[in-house]
Structure 1
C-alpha cells in the first residue's frame, strides 16, 4: 500500500495539513512575544531608573552645594525633627572610644584623682616641709637645656607656684566634645573658637582638680594656668574656671593665654612666668605642657616616647611633673603600626602559618 497513489495522496495531504498548522502557529507565538515584551518594557525601565537613583543618592556625611550656595550635609535621619524644632538626642549614636574613656569611664576618673592626689602630696610634703625654700629648684627647664641634658634654676626668693594646662587637664570640655561626638566630623577650629566664647557654663572640673588647687592655695602656693586658648576670650575662660570651681584667674597674672599670631608652643610663656615665680610643679595632658622640646619637628614616634623614660627627666614624673590621661586628641595620637610596634615584638598566629 505504500506505493499506491492513494497512499501517496494521504501522505501529501498529511504533510500539507502539518505544514499549515506550523505556519499558522509561528505568527501567533511571535505576536505573543511582542506583546509580552511591550508589557515588560515599562517595568524594566522603572527598575533601571530605580537602580540609577540609588547609585546617585546622597550618602550620610557627604556635603553638597545647594543652588543658593549653602553647604548642606546629608544626615542619617529617618524622621523629621519635632514640630517645636528642638532636635532630640540621637539615642543610637555612639561616642568614640577615646571619649567613652575620658568623659565616661571610672578608670579615667580614678587616674585623674590619682594624679591630683600625687600633686597635692608632693606640694604639701616635699615642698611644704622644706625649711629653706630658696634652695628649691624650679621644674621648668632652663634656657639652653636639652632633653638629654636638662638644667633647672634655683628658686631664690621668688614665690612658689604650680602651673597647669586648662583643657582636659583642669577642665573637661564636656559640652564641646558631646557636640563633636554627635556631629562625627572631627575637630573644627571655628567651632572651637565659638565654644571658647560661649561654653563657660558647659564645662566640668577634672576629678580631683578643684580640691588639689584649693589646698595648694591654702598652703600659699599660687595657682597659674598656661593655655593655648585665645587671649581674646580671656574673660570667658576665667568664667569657665570659676564655673568649675577652679578659679580665680586673672589675665597675665594667673592666666596666660595664646596671643594673636603666637605659636602654639608654651615655652615662651613658661619663661615669663618663671621670671616671677618659682614653678615647683606643672600639670598637663600633653608633653608640650612641660617642654616644647618634646614636640620637635620630625621626631620619630618611638624616640619621643623614649625621651620620657630614657633620659634624666624620668624622675620628674610624679615628682614635679604630673600628667593627666587624654586619649581624645593631642600630640600623642600619631604613628602607624610600624612606627608604634618595633620589629622584635611582631607576632604571627601559629595557626596562620599552617
Structure 2
C-alpha cells in the first residue's frame, strides 16, 4: 500500500474537503471608484438588501454535560496496564472522547443540518472500487441521513471485561470474550460524550446505526448493553449490524448494505477499519499505514465526517517495533550516556 505525502496533494485534498462539506468560500472583488472617494456603487445595493433579508444563523446547540461515571476500580494488586490506565481511568481520555463527539455533533448540526438541499450531500462511505489514492463518494439522493458507529471502545466501554483481564493478565481470549458478550451487558458504560451526542443526533432526524464485529448470535445481549449505557435503541439488521457466523472481521460488506438504505454522513470508530477495510491491507508496513491516514486524499475527512476515538488498549494500530515506528534518520544517541 503506497501513500502520497499530503503537501504534494494539498490542492486536491482541499477539493475533496470542499466536495464533502459543501462549504464554498466566495471571494468578491469590490471595484474601487476613482476620483471623489466613491466606495460603494449602485450595483452593491441589491446585494446588501438580499443579505439583509437573510435570517441570522442559528446558534449551535451545545450538548449537555456527560453523566459522571463511577471511578474504575483497579485489580486488588493495584496495578493495571498503561493503556487501561489511560483509556478507562484518565481525564485525558475522557476529554478526547467528549471532544470527538462534540465535533461530530457540531458537524451534523452545522455542515449537514443547515444544508437546504440534502440530496446533494455526499456520503462519507467509500464506494466500491475506491482506493486510498482515488476515493469516491456518492450523493445522498433521497436516502435518509444516518450516523454509523463502532460499538466497543467507540460508544461502549467494556469495563467489566477489561477489569477482569487486568486482574488475570495474559492475552486476548476469544472464548472469554464470547462469554462476555453473553453475560456482561450490565457491566458497561457509555464512552464520555457518546450518549448525549447520539441523543441529539436522533432529535435532529439522523438515524443512529451500530456496525460491530460482535457476534450476531448475541444481538439481544448487545442491544441490552447499549440500552444499559443509554445508547440504544438498536435492532438487528436495521440499526444494529453484527458479524455473522463465518464472516471475516472486515466491515466494508456491512457498510455497503447499510449505505444502500441510508446516506451515511458521519462515522465514528476507534480503529481505521471502522472507516474502510482499505486501511488494513495485510502486511502493510507500520509507517505506510500511518501515511495512508495523513498523506492521502482522505486526510480532510478526519473531523469532517470521520471521527476517531482513542484506544491504546487493543486493536490493529498496536503493532511495530522500534525500527518500524521511528524513521531511520531520526536515530539519536545520548552523548552523555555511559557506553554499553
Q: Compared with structure 1, are the counterparts of its residues 107 and 222 closer, same or farther at alpha carbon in structure 2 (3 Å cutoff)? A: same
User: How do 1:1-354 and structure 2 match up within 5 A?
Assistant: 91-352=76-337
Structure ranking higher on relative contact order (CA contacts 8 Å, 6+ apart): 2
Query: 4+ runs of 1 displaced by more than 3 Å?
Result: none
Could you report, residue by residue, the CA deviation over 1:175-194 in whole angstroms, capped at 9, with x for unpaired residues? 00000000011211100000
- The TM-score with structure 2 as length reference comes to 0.77
**Mapped partners of 1:92, 1:221: distance in 2:** 45
Superposed displacement of residue 195, structure 1 = 0.2
Provide structure 2 residue ranges, at least 5 long, that are not aligned to the other structure.
1-73
Could you report, residue by residue, the CA deviation over 1:222-272 in whole angstroms, capped at 9, with x for unpaired residues? 000000000000000000000000000000000000000000000000000
**Mapped partners of 2:192, 2:77: distance in 1:** 28
Which of the pair is proportionally richer in helix? 1
- The TM-score with structure 1 as length reference comes to 0.74
| Aligned-partner SS, 2:226 | helix
Could you report, residue by residue, the CA deviation over 1:256-304 in whole angstroms, capped at 9, with x for unpaired residues? 0000000000000000000000000000000000000000111100000
Could you report, residue by residue, the CA deviation over 1:63-100 in whole angstroms, capped at 9, with x for unpaired residues? xxxxxxxxxxxxxxxxxxxxxxxxxx853240100000
Q: CA RMSD in A?
A: 1.3
**Mapped partners of 2:174, 2:78: distance in 1:** 23
1:60 is aligned to none
The number of residue pairs the alignment matches comes to 267
1:41 is aligned to none
Q: Compared with structure 1, are the counterparts of its residues 292 and 347 closer, same or farther at alpha carbon in structure 2 (3 Å cutoff)? A: same
